[in-house]
Chain A
Amino acid sequence: QQQVKQSPQSLIVQKGGISIINCAYENTAFDYFPWYQQFPGKGPALLIAIRPDVSEKKEGRFTISFNKSAKQFSLHIMDSQPGDSATYFCAAENAGNMLTFGGGTRLMVKP
């Protein structure tokens, strides 16, 4: 079964802190792992993505860590800001371009 499990469901971080969201997948056919950010009333926005042949990818304050053997990947948000408060979704995609999403993490960054 194609599933992506995401944790935690909610996260509260102080401004300037590090936010960490974890995901685990089952299907080894997945070959692309994006993270999306969604604000209330908006569609998901592509944040950063990684392929399984890379263990880490960094773009600005956002870093994906990928552990292929454990079938896990995580998003780290460094120097978290109140404007980062949103719901974050991990996802996994196979060659058919069908995205399988995790359940989401609601992040709140306190000033």
Chain B
Amino acid sequence: ETGVTQSPTHLIKTRGQQVTLRCSSQSGHNTVSWYQQALGQGPQFIFQYYREEENGRGNFPPRFSGLQFPNYSSELNVNALELDDSALYLCASSLFGVNEQFFGPGTRLTVL
């Protein structure tokens, strides 16, 4: 069984740029959720994708957007990067309707 994988591991961008982060869900899972974890804090829910559509969103602006593909993998896109977007971005996969969410190792984004 393959766990949740994310790419890239680390990324450095400058303010105003755009970034795309990728996630492959665990085998058998059809739902992907994205979280932002600032240094020293708990993860914050960004949004969830199921059946290739957004299925819930946290308190994040529209410049945070996502996609889910037919193979259940997902992308997180962030436009017009701000310094405060520097964080660990975590992807979690699950089976829709089942509570357990399993996290990937994250992508560390640094915005300069």
Point out residues on A near B: beta carbons under 8 Å.
6, 32, 34, 36, 41-46, 49, 89, 91, 93, 96-104
A103 and B42 contacting across the interface, CB-CB below 8 Å? yes
Minimum CB–CB distance for B27 against chain A, Å: 16
Distance in angstroms from A11 CB to nearest chain B CB is 15
Categorize the interface residue count of chain B. 20 to 34
Once bound together, how far apart are the Cα atoms of A6 and B42, in whole Å?
A: 10
- In the complex, whether B31 has a CB less than 8 A from a CB of chain A is yes
Which residues of A are found within 8 Å of B44, using beta-carbon distances? Answer: 101
Measured in the bound complex, the distance between the Cα atoms of B6 and A41 in whole Å is 13
- Contact with A44, one of B31, B94, B100, B103 (Cβ below 8 angstroms): B103
The distance in angstroms between the C-alpha atoms of A49 and B102, with both chains bound, is 13
Interchain CB contact under 8 A, A104 and B42: yes
Q: Which residues of B contact A102 (CB under 8 A)?
A: 42
Q: Complex: how many Å from CA A93 to CA B56?
A: 13
Beyond known contacts A43-B106, A96-B48, A99-B45: 6 more, CB 8 A cutoff: A34-B100, A42-B106, A46-B101, A89-B43, A97-B48, A98-B33
18 of the cross-chain contacts (CB-CB < 8 Å) are: A6-B42, A34-B99, A34-B101, A41-B105, A42-B105, A42-B106, A43-B4, A43-B90, A43-B105, A43-B106, A44-B90, A91-B42, A93-B101, A97-B33, A97-B55, A100-B45, A103-B41, A103-B42
| 8 Å CB interface, B85-112 against A | 90, 92, 94, 96, 99-106
Digitize B30-74: 1 where CB-to-A-CB distance is under 8 Å, 0 elsewhere.
Answer: 010101000011111100100000011010000000000000000
